[in-house]
């Protein structure tokens, strides 16, 4: 018998309430019954996004919502400024390139954050920048960027701030309206505790002016069409009915907890995980700006990181993530986002220790678990 556990930074585990909702028979979407769900869902989304702006959802993975942001805000030949500190920052650059948008890239060393002053300097140098694209939690490195600081800088310019918060929303505090973030992008399979399949975005008034002017080609992702439908509590095309019904359940669960409690839970799990890997002698990959959504740590010298992840998964049923691109095989990533409890973290750490020991890494068994327990006992 093998029992499996998922601690990856997307997809994340599903609560029983969500599984139950997903198992219900399908209903038609142009019905009062579904409209009731849709209405409650959008109210819930606005609550998680901490915004009064319109929120939109598409049947797509998170990247679809990122693409929706690009094609609705910009036109061929426009200039975008991109903060690129990992795999997902690079995605903004690739998306812009696909639509003929000129990009200026601020390259940030993987594992590091960016001082908002540097962003300010770049914006001061180039008044043609129409949009700044950045990432909230850079899932590939475990870095949380200073979105509040970025927003303060971008607010003073003509440009709009677009944040990929796919792995951070509903996990770490992101105050869309209070900080002045124009577009926030999210996806279903991270903090929302859902299967992949939905992409979300919120759009400010300032950003909506860009939408009015945008000439990028678009059809399915056209926000004007989506807004028209939204005004009638409807969707332009057949929505992902089943996942939206499950989203409504997930939002109910989140509202029952409250945002403060959600953020505090993730912080606690992150602190425990960071304490554990540090106690084991593993260096944090993002020591100065560690995200509370996922912990990235360097694999010890002489240990094959890919084999470590594979052994945990195939022999013990515990799935964590390894590194991508340049850090492939060199880092491990333990996600503590969404439906993850203290017991899951302890279990994953115990498994990590067991496999590290088996692979010949020298340390005293229980060191990491003890450090985590100490954090979780306070």
Q: Which parts of this chain interact with ligand PLP (CB under 6 A)?
A: 9-10, 61-63, 88, 135, 137, 139, 164, 166-167, 187, 196
What radius of gyration, in Å, describes the C-alpha atoms of the chain?
21
Paired tokens of 335: 């996600």
Q: Order of strands, edge to edge, in the sheet holding 160-164?
A: 54-59, 198-203, 183-187, 160-164, 129-135, 79-84, 102-107
Nearer to ligand PLP among residue 62 and residue 323 (C-beta) = 62
Q: Which residue has the tokens 């990590």?
A: 352
Nearer to ligand PLP among residue 91 and residue 369 (C-beta) = 91
Q: How far is CA 272 from CA 26, 155, 277, 279, in A?
A: 41, 36, 9, 10
Give CA angle at 264 (262, 267), nearest 5°. 110
Are the beta carbons of 23 and 251 closer than 8 angstroms? no
Kind and range of the H or E element at 356?
helix 342-358
CA 167, CA 12: separation in Å to the nearest integer?
10
Nearer to ligand PLP among residue 173 and residue 353 (C-beta) = 173
Other Cβ atoms within 10 Å of 194 Cβ, number:
28
Quick check: helix, strand or coil at residue 36?
helix
Q: What's the min distance (Å) between Cβ of 300 and ligand PLP?
A: 26
Q: What's the min distance (Å) between Cβ of 66 and ligand PLP?
A: 7
Q: What's the min distance (Å) between Cβ of 353 and ligand PLP?
A: 27
Nearer to ligand PLP among residue 34 and residue 88 (C-beta) = 88
Q: What's the min distance (Å) between Cβ of 166 and ligand PLP?
A: 4
Q: What's the min distance (Å) between Cβ of 244 and ligand PLP?
A: 16
Nearer to ligand PLP among residue 278 and residue 324 (C-beta) = 324
Q: What's the min distance (Å) between Cβ of 301 and ligand PLP?
A: 28
Residue 168 sits at φ, ψ, to 5 deg, of -105, -25
Q: What's the min distance (Å) between Cβ of 167 and ligand PLP?
A: 3
Nearer to ligand PLP among residue 75 and residue 93 (C-beta) = 93
Nearer to ligand PLP among residue 62 and residue 305 (C-beta) = 62
Q: How far is CA 306 from CA 312, 334, 353, in A?
A: 10, 14, 15
């Amino acid at each position: 018998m093998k029992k499996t556990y998922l601690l990856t930074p997307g997809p994340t585990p599903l609560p029983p309430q969500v599984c139950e909702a997903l198992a219900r028979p399908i209903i038609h979407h142009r019905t009062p019954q579904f409209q009731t769900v849709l209405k409650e869902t959008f109210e819930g989304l606005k609550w998680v996004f901490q915004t009064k702006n319109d929120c939109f959802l598409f049947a797509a993975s998170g990247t679809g919502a990122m693409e929706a942001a690009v094609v609705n805000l910009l036109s061929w030949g426009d200039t975008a400024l991109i903060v690129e500190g990992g795999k997902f920052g690079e995605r903004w650059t690739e998306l812009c390139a696909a639509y003929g948008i000129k990009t200026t890239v601020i390259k940030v060393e993987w594992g590091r954050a960016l001082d908002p002053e540097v962003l300010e300097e770049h914006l001061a140098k180039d008044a043609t920048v129409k949009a700044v694209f950045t990432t909230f939690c850079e899932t590939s490195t475990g870095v949380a960027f200073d979105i509040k600081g970025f927003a303060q800088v971008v607010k003073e310019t003509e440009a709009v701030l677009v944040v990929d918060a796919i792995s951070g929303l509903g996990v770490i505090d992101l105050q869309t309206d209070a900080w002045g973030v124009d577009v926030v992008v999210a996806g279903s399979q991270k903090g929302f505790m859902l299967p992949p399949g939905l992409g979300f975005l919120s759009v400010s008034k300032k950003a909506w002016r860009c939408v009015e002017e945008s000439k990028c080609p678009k059809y399915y992702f056209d926000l004007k069409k989506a807004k028209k439908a939204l005004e009638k509590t409807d969707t332009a095309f057949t929505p992902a009915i089943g996942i939206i019904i499950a989203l409504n359940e997930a939002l109910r669960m989140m509202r029952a907890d409250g945002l403060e409690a959600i953020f505090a839970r993730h912080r606690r799990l992150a602190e425990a995980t960071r304490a554990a890997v540090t106690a084991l002698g593993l260096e944090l990959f993002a020591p100065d700006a560690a995200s509370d959504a996922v912990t990235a740590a360097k694999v010890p010298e002489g240990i094959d990181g890919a084999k470590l992840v594979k052994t945990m998964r195939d022999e013990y049923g515990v799935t964590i993530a390894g590194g991508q691109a340049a850090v492939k095989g060199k880092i491990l990533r333990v996600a503590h986002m969404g439906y993850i409890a203290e017991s899951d973290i302890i279990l994953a750490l115990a498994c990590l220790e067991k496999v590290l020991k088996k692979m010949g890494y020298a340390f005293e068994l229980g060191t990491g678990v003890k450090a985590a327990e100490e954090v979780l006992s306070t």
